[in-house]
Structures are given as C-alpha cells and as structure tokens.
C-alpha cells in the first residue's frame, strides 16, 4: 500500500465528458458515482479528475475561479466527498488536478488586482507590466493582454488565464493551503498542471524566437522549480502512509522537447512522479519507441521519482487516429480506423507491460477515435478559436463517452444532447456493446490490467521491440511489415489481434508466458 503509485494504473476522468448524472448534457460527480462499478471492474487503482472547480470553463476548467470548491455544473463538495468515499469502498484512490501556473480572470484575486490598479500589492500576485515583451501564448497569439488602465498581464495560455507571480511568497503560501485542503479531504494525490511553468525569469526578457516550445526558456523549466517541488513533497510525505490511500503522491505535467529537459526533476525528494509523454510523442516506429523507452527508464534510474507511461490524455489526438493516419489528421476521412485500432490495441499491451505506472485516459479503453469533424460552431477549445481554426484543438478527444444504445447521446446522460456532439456510428464502441464482445478493446484493457506483469525489465534480443519482465514474461510488438516468429513459449497470455501459426502479425502485440 505504501508507495502504491509506483506501479499503479490510473484512469483519467475528464469530468465534463465522462458521465452525466443530471441530464444537463455535462458530466458530473453524480454520473461518475453511478459509473464507479465500471471503473472497479476495469481494475484501476486510482482516478485522476481533470479540474471540476468553479470556472467559466474557458479552457475546460483549467481556468480556475476557486481552487477549493466544486463548480455547480459538476455537483457540490458533498458530491465530491461521496465519490471519494464510494471509490475508497472499491479500493480506488482519487487524484485531483492542481493548476498552479495560472487561474481564471474570474478568480477573486485577479478581479481585485484589476480593481486595485497599477503598483498595488494585489497586482503583485500576477505579472503586470507597463509594456509587453514578445512572448507568445501556447494557445496562439500574444502572451499579454492589456487592461483598461493601460497595463498588461502575462498569460502563457488563454487571455482568460492570468499567470500567478510565483516570485511573490503569497502565491506559494496560498497554494500550500490549496494542497492541504484536498489532502485533508482524503485525496491520494495531485496532478500538477504545467508543472514546468510557474516561475518566470524576473527580467521577462524578449526571446530571439518566441515560437512556443517546451525547451528550457524564461518561462519553462526554471531552476527554482526543483526546490519548490521539494517543499510540496514534504507536504505530501507529512500525511500518514500506512492507512488507505497510502502515501500521497503528485504527478507533474512536465513537457519537454527532449527527454533531457526533464532530468532536473529526477532527484531524491522531488515530485514523486513526472509524466513521461515521450511514448505518445513517438512515431509508430520500433526504433523510435525503443529509444524512447530506454531513455525514459534510464532517466528514472537512481532517483526515487517515477515517470508514468501515457499513450493519451485530454490534450492529444486519440491513439486510433494518431496511429491510423500517415500525417496528423484534420478530418475523419484522413484516418484508417481499422489500422489505427490495430495499432492502438498493440500500444495498449505495450503501455501496460512496461515497468512502472500507466495512465489511461477515459475512452482509450474503448478504442475511441478522435472526432475530427466537429462543426466549427460546436467547438469549444480556445486553441481552435485563438488560431482561427488553423489548429483544430482538443475537442475531438473530449467527446462525451458512449455508454450504451445506438444513437446520441449513447447513454452519456438522460438529456437529449451532450455538451459536445458525438459522431454517428459509435454504436459498436459503447461500453454496453464492448462488454458483450470478448474481442473488444475494453475487454483487452480489462484483461491486461488484471494480468500486468512485474519483475525486472530487459530487452529481448533478436526482435525490434520485445522485452521480458522477470523470468517468465515477454511482451513483443511487431511494427514491421512482415509477421515475426514467436519465441519458444509456454502459453499466449494475451494478444492484441489474432495469433495463428506461431507468428506475430504486423501491428500486433502479444504477452507470452515463457517456458
Ligand atoms: C495542460 C492541461 O492539460 C491543458 O488541458 C490546459 O489547457 C493547459 N495545461 C493549461 O492549463
């Protein structure tokens, strides 16, 4: 129980789109509570909720107006507590999303800063200047917005998401209270949004190339972060580890352009977990994946920080569509869904056989494709709107889940329509349909989660992408063009596709019990 998070399977819930309990078209805690048995049967150790706090939802809730409450659209604090208690009854822990880089312009502290005017202590909580520099928003457009009194404020994301000033001790002090608020309620951990952000170079210098990237820069991967996260680790470690939910954890959303950019976080006493996004950034190519896996394992060696594996989340194109198109798809017609599904299933067996923890994003276990053809008028993501549609944004992976039935809203809720449209043709992808089909992607995930291997990781010689865990287990993935003979084995434990004639077909993965 102690460090349960070291090899846990964590299920990410994007609350708006998971399950709607009150029929208003938006997911909520009542809906999630009703679906807890589903999560228990899937076999996950914990759920991570993307933000559910009071928010204008300009960025799906990552624009927080109050860090210590629940938006009425999602329910109440009592509903949160009810979910937490019921989840504990299934042995499932809860992780909440902390958004420390920025808040919402609707946050009372930002409203007070606007009202107090230039030079006020209220403005010192944010980054106000008389003139902007040349930094660009990650969502497109400038990273500065002017207020009516002429000053500008910094926002690395949407103009509705002002950045906190982490150089002001009042900001870390406030967040410490936020952390304790949720930890005291019994959450098992925190997912930390834009963990490589927060501190900015105090000079706010212009940069030669303002194109957003995840390299170290005057706004990302600042040296102050390491000491800062040691203080959060100390808070986490001050909670008792010997009773449920075990030791408290935090998983940082650290993006880097290269694995080396994450190295500073892998130090004793650092944030317990740093997401490893390189698996899903890697092409469907054996050499690239192999290199990524080796580099990731090497990175964590010798530190007590772990780097969970991920193949999807609410910010990136769903694996079926990513692996099913030769170039980033812009339309559903660009995707070969059958190919993408084969590869996504193989990737699932890879994900769940690697050593350490894995995060599964809602709908990944159903093999949902990205919905790329959402009409512009229905799109919600500020990335779409700030770039005039040049970037489609992330709505396509945030489509409400199909639970049952043959037509929209596919059992998502009782209401006539969900907050984002679902595509036609998802009848075979519903939970209900997949539970009735032993060959479904859902059943593959359930079986794989139940049978995850332990033991030392070692590459298996003679294959492009194959490894063993301990003495008796092997995972092979065939990304080549030809079928590959299987090694001598006692039995096939699981396969992502049909195995016949002792060979592993293209775009297929298998788990073997070795003899
Ligand atoms: C990362 C979150 O995952 C994403 O959804 C959000 O838009 C940005 N951070 C800004 O909070």
Nearest CA to ligand 1 atom 2: 193
Please say whether the dihedral angle defined by the alpha carbons of residues 267, 272, 278 and 281, taken in this order, is positive or negative.
Answer: negative
Q: Compute the average pLDDT of residues 107-132.
A: 98
CB of 57 closer than 6 angstroms to any ligand 1 atom: no
CATH code, domain carrying 135: 3.90.400.10
For the cut 80, the answer to whether the pLDDT of residue 497 exceeds it is: yes
SS (H, E, C) 172-202: HHHHHHHHHHHHHHCCCEEEECCCCCCCCCC
Residue 399 lies in a domain: yes
Banded pLDDT at 127 (limits 50, 70, 90):
very high
Nearest CA to ligand 1 atom 10: 62
Quote the CA–CA distance of 471 and 515 in Å, as a whole number. Answer: 9
Mean pLDDT of the chain: 97
Q: Compute the average pLDDT of residues 214-227.
A: 98
> How far away, in angstroms, is 129 Cα from ligand 1 center?
24
> How far away, in angstroms, is 458 Cα from ligand 1 center?
35
How many domains is the chain partitioned into structurally?
4
Strand-pairing partners, residue 98, are 192
Same domain, 384 and 443: yes
Closest-lying ligand 1 atom to the alpha carbon of residue 157? 10
Same domain, 201 and 257: yes
Quote the CA–CA distance of 351 and 432 in Å, as a whole number. Answer: 24
Same domain, 219 and 302: yes
String of DSSP letters for 231-281: HHHHHHHTS-SSSTT-S-EEEE----SSGGGGGGG-STTS-SEE-B-HHHH
Same domain, 441 and 475: no
Virtual torsion, Cα 342, 348, 349, 350, nearest 10 deg: 110
| Of 68, 71, 79, 72, residue with least CA distance to 54 | 71
Residue 2 lies in a domain: no
Residue 98 lies in a domain: no
Q: Compute the average pLDDT of residues 261-269.
A: 95
Its domain, for residue 143, covers 108-154
- At 234 the pLDDT is 97
String of DSSP letters for 53-70: SS---TTTT-S-S-TTS-
> How far away, in angstroms, is 52 Cα from ligand 1 center?
13
Give the domain-ending residue among 452, 474, 503.
Answer: 452
Going by their DSSP bridges, the two strands 128-129 and 152-154 should be labelled as: antiparallel
Closest-lying ligand 1 atom to the alpha carbon of residue 394? 5
Residue 97 lies in a domain: no
- C-alpha distances in angstroms, 420 versus 321, 333, 364, 373, 376? 19, 20, 18, 12, 11
Residue 70 lies in a domain: yes
Nearest CA to ligand 1 atom 11: 62
CB of 103 closer than 6 angstroms to any ligand 1 atom: no
Q: Compute the average pLDDT of residues 134-139.
A: 97
- At 416 the pLDDT is 79
Q: What is the pLDDT of residues 146-202, one digit of tens each?
A: 999 999 999 999 999 999 999 999 999 999 999 999 999 999 999 999 999 999 999
Mutation pick for ligand 1 pocket among 315, 362, 380, 381 (CB with most ligand atoms within 8 Å): 315
DSSP 334: G
Same domain, 195 and 214: yes
DSSP 306: B
- CB-CB contact of 175 with 199 (8 Å): no
CB of 59 closer than 6 angstroms to any ligand 1 atom: yes
CATH code, domain carrying 81: 3.20.20.80
CB of 158 closer than 6 angstroms to any ligand 1 atom: no
Q: What is the pLDDT of residues 268-285, one digit of tens each?
A: 999 999 998 999 889 999
Residue 287 lies in a domain: yes
Same domain, 189 and 297: yes
Nearest CA to ligand 1 atom 6: 62
Which residues carry out catalysis?
Answer: 193, 253
Say if residue 177 is exposed, middle or buried (CB neighbours under 10 Å; 0-12, 13-18, 19+).
exposed
- Percent of the chain beyond pLDDT 90? 97
Could you tell me the pTM of the whole model? Answer: 0.98
CB of 381 closer than 6 angstroms to any ligand 1 atom: no
Quote the CA–CA distance of 383 and 273 in Å, as a whole number. Answer: 28
Same domain, 468 and 427: no
Q: Compute the average pLDDT of residues 126-138.
A: 98
Same domain, 329 and 442: yes
Banded pLDDT at 1 (limits 50, 70, 90):
very low
> How far away, in angstroms, is 417 Cα from ligand 1 center?
25
Virtual torsion, Cα 337, 425, 358, 98, nearest 10 deg: 120
Residue 252 lies in a domain: yes
Same domain, 202 and 219: yes
Q: What is the pLDDT of residues 38-87, one digit of tens each?
A: 999 999 999 999 999 999 999 999 999 999 999 999 999 999 999 999 99
CB of 348 closer than 6 angstroms to any ligand 1 atom: no
Same domain, 179 and 296: yes
CATH code, domain carrying 469: 2.60.40
Same domain, 395 and 422: yes
- Please count the helices (runs of H) and the strands (runs of E) in the chain: 13, 18
Residue 288 lies in a domain: yes
Same domain, 122 and 62: no
């Amino acid at each position: 129980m102690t460090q349960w998070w070291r090899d846990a399977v964590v299920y990410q819930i994007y609350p708006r789109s998971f399950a709607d309990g009150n029929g208003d078209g938006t997911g909520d805690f009542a809906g999630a509570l009703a679906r807890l048995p589903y999560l228990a049967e899937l076999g996950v150790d914990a759920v991570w909720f993307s933000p559910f706090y009071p928010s204008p939802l300009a960025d799906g809730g990552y624009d927080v107006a109050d860090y210590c409450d629940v938006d009425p659209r999602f329910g109440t604090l009592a509903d949160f507590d009810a979910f937490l208690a019921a989840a504990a009854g299934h042995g499932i822990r809860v992780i909440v999303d902390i958004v420390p880089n920025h808040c919402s312009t609707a946050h009372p502290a930002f409203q007070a800063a606007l009202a107090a005017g230039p030079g006020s202590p209220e403005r010192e909580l944010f980054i106000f200047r008389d003139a902007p520099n040349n930094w660009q928003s990650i969502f497109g457009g400038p990273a500065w917005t002017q207020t009516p009194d002429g000053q500008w404020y910094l926002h690395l994301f949407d103009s509705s998401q002002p950045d906190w000033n982490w150089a002001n001790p009042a900001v870390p002090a406030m967040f410490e209270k936020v952390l304790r608020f949720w930890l005291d309620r019994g959450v098992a951990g925190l997912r930390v949004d834009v963990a490589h952000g927060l501190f900015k170079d105090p000079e706010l210098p212009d940069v030669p190339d303002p194109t957003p990237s995840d390299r170290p820069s005057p706004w990302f991967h600042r040296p102050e972060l390491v000491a800062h996260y040691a203080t959060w680790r100390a808070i986490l470690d001050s909670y008792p580890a010997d009773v449920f939910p075990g030791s408290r954890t935090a998983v940082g959303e650290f993006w880097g352009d290269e694995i080396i950019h994450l190295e500073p976080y892998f130090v004793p006493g650092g944030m317990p977990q740093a997401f490893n996004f390189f698996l899903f950034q890697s092409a469907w190519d054996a050499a690239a994946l192999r290199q990524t896996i080796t580099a990731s394992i090497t990175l964590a060696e010798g530190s007590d920080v772990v780097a969970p594996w991920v193949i999807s989340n609410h910010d990136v194109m769903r694996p079926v569509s990513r692996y099913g198109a030769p170039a980033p798809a812009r339309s559903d017609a660009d995707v070969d869904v059958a190919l993408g599904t084969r590869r996504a299933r193989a990737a699932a067996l890879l994900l769940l056989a690697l050593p350490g923890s894995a995060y599964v994003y809602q709908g990944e276990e159903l093999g949902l494709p990205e919905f790329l053809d959402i009409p512009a008028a229905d799109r919600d993501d500020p990335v779409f709107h700030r770039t005039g549609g040049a970037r489609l944004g992330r709505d396509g992976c945030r489509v409400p889940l199909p639970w049952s039935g043959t037509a929209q809203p596919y059992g998502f809720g009782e209401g006539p329509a969900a907050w984002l449209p679902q595509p036609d043709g998802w009848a075979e992808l519903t939970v209900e349909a997949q539970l009735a089909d032993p060959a479904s992607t859902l059943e593959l995930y359930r079986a794989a989660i139940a049978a995850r291997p332990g033991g030392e990781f070692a590459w298996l010689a003679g294959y492009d992408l194959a490894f063993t865990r301990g003495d008796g287990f092997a995972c092979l993935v065939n990304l080549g063009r030809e079928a590959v003979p299987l090694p001598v084995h006692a039995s096939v434990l699981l396969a992502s596709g049909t195995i016949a004639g002792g060979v592993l077909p293209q775009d297929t993965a298998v788990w073997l019990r070795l003899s």
